Structure 1
Amino acid sequence: MQDALFGPDDVADPTWTVGDLARAVGAVVEQAFPGEVWVRGEIRGLPPPGDARRNRPHLYFDLIEPAPPGARPNAVLPVVLWASDRKRVNAELRRSGIRVSTMDSGVDVRIRGRVRWWAPGGRAQLQMTGIDPEYTLGRLAADRAAVLAALDGEGLLDRNASHPLPVMPERVGLVTSIGSAAHGDVRRVLERAGLDHLVVEVDARTQGPEALTTIPAALVAVAAAGADLVLLVRGGGSRVELASFDSEVIARAVATCPVPIIAGIGHHIDDSVVDRVAHTSAPTPTAAATEVVSLVALARDRAEALWEAVANGARRAIDGHAHRLAVTARHGASVTGAALRAGDAQVATAAARARRAGPGALATATRRLDVTAAAVGREVRRDVTGADRLVTAAVTRLVRRPGPTLDRHRRDLSGLEARVRAADPVLALARGWSITYRADGALVRGPGDVTAGDALVTVVADGRVRSRVEPAADRDPASSDGPGSSDG
């Protein structure tokens, strides 16, 4: 049946078996690609370093033609690296300075191999026999140059550097692979300086395709957590291992971060696009952490210098005030002494004058006092004489006026006495009148002041009569005014 593939068409039975067809396709593929070919593409599906599948004798992965993010690759070619060819490929990588472990998914490579049809899998595959390390390194350099040119055209190369570093960092973001050597180096430096309490850590992949998503997300997270300074660090590696830090995605995330970033990528000789766009580029992760310690130490030194300047200024001011106070005190003492001496002299002069003028002044004062006493005596006598005349006149008037006044008041009193006797209730009672009270002492003036059952007290000339009000009985109106009748 295999011969019929290129033989005449008039075959008795055109049906193929799977094996025959697979062998025929394999023959066509081998005839089309009789020798080795070079193929370039991006590695995908290669087990990462540390994966147990990486230690197997043969390696299997895909070589793809990338498509826009989120889309399926434009083409996929399975690749197998047999153990017999693997040693030679690894040797080629080492000679170029590329570590074997750097070959990972996402690396753009140019490889050599034989195109074969794998019948058990029903697909063509490339049996890899060699690699072109210079192609990979050249692609990295070209991509790096293109990214730098694009960022420069948009003014992003120095944007992060325009953010001022904090004078005293209050919260430091640390973006790295948690548990890595770089992470440990940074933690040790900050812990020795007593600054580990400032650190906000966010884990991110620092190699391979995952770095393109985790690093930008981590930068956003630490900025949202309030970090005023960010450390982006990764330990040393080959150019392929550090290729993620030349990518445009990560470079843009660093350039547009609102917080200043100190990058510590690789070792002293490594230089990435991230180093170029970050605020500060440190040669190693340890050096990046040391930058933070230096910032804090500088702020502490400035504060101490300011306090020392304040203390020195205060001491100078105190010394100046003390000197001026001493000068003022000496001047005051001198002026006060002179004033006291002048005062003593004035007092002595006044005392001398007083001693000399004393007898004459005393005689003059005595004469003046005598004259004043005589004048006062005359005035007093004159006033006393006038007052005596006034008293005598008043006594005379009082002696003459009481007689007529007393006679008039006696007449008025006699008339008043007669009126009182006329109104005396005892006399009225003696003439036959009476006075009636209720038990509560209220005076009864008419029938309306009492009710049936009230106890009454009637006062007559020679005693009291007690009675009680009874209800009125029906009787002849004609006899209603007879003796013993009572209204009400």
Structure 2
Amino acid sequence: MNAYSVTALSDHIKAILEDDPELGDVWVEGEVSNCRPAASGHWYFVLKDEGATLSCVIWKSSAAALSTLPADGQRFLMHGAVSVYGPAGRYQYYVDHCEPAGLGDLHQRFEALKARLAEEGLFDAARKRPLPAYPMRIGVVTSRQAAALRDICNVLARRWPAAEVRLAPTLVQGDAAPDQIVAALAAVARAGVEVVLLARGGGSLEDLWAFNDERVARAIAACPVPVVCGVGHEIDFTIADFVADVRAPTPSAAAEMVTPDARELRLAVDDRRLRLTRSVADRVDGWRQATDRLAHRLRLVAPERAIRDHRTRIEALRARLGRAMEARLRLARADLD
């Protein structure tokens, strides 16, 4: 039996694909999803339709030459070649040209719902509520297994450990997610929280679609306490972001937005205490000086001093009178003698 190694089989498949002239010069139309430019300058995304998905790559050199680059939710007509990426064992479409072919279905639905809810006023700034300054009970609506939950709990424990955290677990992806999110929002509001964090990590347009559901949007609008939406990454926007009272770029940022920093508060309290101590000391010192001045003035006008002064003068006059009488008597005796 002549067995292939994994690498050899992958190379063989790659050679078959690359030897096919049709796959080396092929046009494909589909909707772009999960589009992420890498730090290297390459672009990675998925091209999809109702029946399949296709992993795609645009190398940095090709991307620099393109006038239009792919964007999530939009339909594109692309040209390139199909080959195999051996380390991952998958075939990929290497794109060297792309041009818009219209909005994708999900993007069209997103824009339609966004326009309708905006017309109803659900995005109006006037209905946005301020966040509580020092919330003591914080609600979190996310998946119990989500990395976002760990990030949120770490931030809350570091910044504001005095707060009680109430979790309303829910699915954050899939067809069942919208109804569960709606129920979780209602449950956590009944728990008496002061603010709600609605969160999940990043993902493709499809992964985040539960947060573009009209039921979720109306549940956020109906929530009796402020809602902070921290869904996806900074570049991700959902309908929930527009309806929420505050939009955070990430789940961790949402946790920071709803909490004061306990360490900063302690420093502020210490500073206020020092300033108050100095102010009281300065005021007491001022009162002491004023009291000393008044006491000095009182001593100057006190009757005891005047009496003492008069008594001293009387004693002095009495002494002078005694001396004068003695002198007169001596003179009188001298005359008699």
2:140 touches 2:167 (CA, 8 Å); kept in 1?
A: yes
Q: Quick one: which amino acid aligns to residue 189 of structure 2?
A: A
Shift in alpha-carbon separation, 1:311–1:341, aligned structure 2, 3 A: closer
**Corresponding residue for 2:286?**
320
Shift in alpha-carbon separation, 1:144–1:167, aligned structure 2, 3 A: same
**Corresponding residue for 1:290?**
256
Shift in alpha-carbon separation, 1:300–1:271, aligned structure 2, 3 A: farther
**Corresponding residue for 1:95?**
56
CA apart distance, 1:240: 0.8
What SS does structure 2 have at the residue aligned with 1:268?
Answer: coil
- 5+ long unaligned stretches in structure 2: 1-49, 59-72, 76-99, 322-337
Q: Quick one: which amino acid aligns to residue 256 of structure 2?
A: T
Q: Deviations over 1:125-173 (max 9, x none)?
A: xxxxxxxxx9997222222222222222222214696322111111010
CA apart distance, 1:299: 5.6
2:132 touches 2:258 (CA, 8 Å); kept in 1?
A: no
2:128 touches 2:244 (CA, 8 Å); kept in 1?
A: no
1:163 touches 1:258 (CA, 8 Å); kept in 2?
A: no
CA apart distance, 1:306: 4.8
**Corresponding residue for 1:247?**
213
Shift in alpha-carbon separation, 1:344–1:160, aligned structure 2, 3 A: closer
Work out whether 1:260 is the aligned partner of 2:260. Answer: no
CA apart distance, 1:341: 4.5
Work out whether 1:343 is the aligned partner of 2:307. Answer: yes
Shift in alpha-carbon separation, 1:159–1:296, aligned structure 2, 3 A: farther
Alpha-carbon separation, structure 2, partners of 1:348 and 1:300: 65
- 5+ long unaligned stretches in structure 1: 1-62, 64-80, 82-88, 98-107, 111-133, 357-488
Bigger relative contact order, structure 1 or 2, given CA contacts below 8 A and separation 6+?
A: 2
- Please, what is the CA RMSD of the aligned residues? 3.5
**TM-score w.r.t. length of structure 2:** 0.59
Return the structure number with greater strand share.
Answer: 2
What SS does structure 2 have at the residue aligned with 1:95?
Answer: strand
Poorly superposed stretches of 4+, deviation over 4 Å: 134-137, 295-309, 348-356
Shift in alpha-carbon separation, 1:296–1:145, aligned structure 2, 3 A: farther
2:165 to 199, 222, 231: 199
Shift in alpha-carbon separation, 1:312–1:259, aligned structure 2, 3 A: farther
**Corresponding residue for 1:178?**
144
**Corresponding residue for 1:56?**
none
Q: Quick one: which amino acid aligns to residue 234 of structure 1?
A: R
CA apart distance, 1:216: 1.4
Shift in alpha-carbon separation, 1:143–1:284, aligned structure 2, 3 A: same
**Corresponding residue for 1:233?**
199
What SS does structure 1 have at the residue aligned with 2:122?
Answer: coil
CA apart distance, 1:316: 3.2
Alpha-carbon separation, structure 2, partners of 1:229 and 1:160: 18
Alpha-carbon separation, structure 1, partners of 2:241 and 2:269: 31
Alpha-carbon separation, structure 2, partners of 1:185 and 1:172: 15
**Corresponding residue for 1:362?**
none
**What count of residue pairs does the alignment treat as equivalent?**
233
Shift in alpha-carbon separation, 1:205–1:267, aligned structure 2, 3 A: same
1:161 touches 1:277 (CA, 8 Å); kept in 2?
A: no
Alpha-carbon separation, structure 2, partners of 1:348 and 1:326: 27
Q: Deviations over 1:194-231 (max 9, x none)?
A: 52752001101111121111111111111111111111
Q: Deviations over 1:396-455 (max 9, x none)?
A: xxxxxxxxxxxxxxxxxxxxxxxxxxxxxxxxxxxxxxxxxxxxxxxxxxxxxxxxxxxx
How do residues 403-422 of structure 1 correspond to structure 2 at under 5 angstroms? none
Q: Which has the larger radius of gyration?
A: 1
**Corresponding residue for 2:106?**
140
Alpha-carbon separation, structure 2, partners of 1:221 and 1:265: 20
Q: Deviations over 1:30-89 (max 9, x none)?
A: xxxxxxxxxxxxxxxxxxxxxxxxxxxxxxxxx9xxxxxxxxxxxxxxxxx8xxxxxxx3
**TM-score w.r.t. length of structure 1:** 0.42
CA apart distance, 1:304: 5.1
